[in-house]
Amino acid sequence: MAVLTIRDALNQALREEIIRDENVFIMGEEVAEYDGAYKVTRGLW
């Protein structure tokens, strides 16, 4: 069984949904410029 941090699991789930549905978008503070406060969105674009 793979061990993931909560951050990595959230990132993976977001990535899967973005690929699955082109209408998914993410908004919030520091999401793009700083990869989010906890780096959950790192590498998604």
In a domain? residue 14: yes
CA distance 22 to 29: 21
Q: Based on the structure, what is the number of domains in the chain?
A: 1
The pLDDT value recorded for residue 5 is 95
In a domain? residue 11: yes
- pLDDT tens across 1-45, in order? 889 999 999 999 999 999 999 999 998 888 877 767 788 898 887
29, two tokens: 């503070």
The CA distances from residue 27 to 18, 24, 33, in Å, are 13, 10, 12
In a domain? residue 5: yes
In a domain? residue 45: no
In a domain? residue 43: no
In a domain? residue 16: yes
The pLDDT value recorded for residue 45 is 77
The pLDDT value recorded for residue 16 is 98
CA distance 39 to 45: 13
Which residues form the domain of 3?
A: 1-38
CA distance 41 to 35: 5
2, two tokens: 């793979």
The pLDDT value recorded for residue 33 is 76
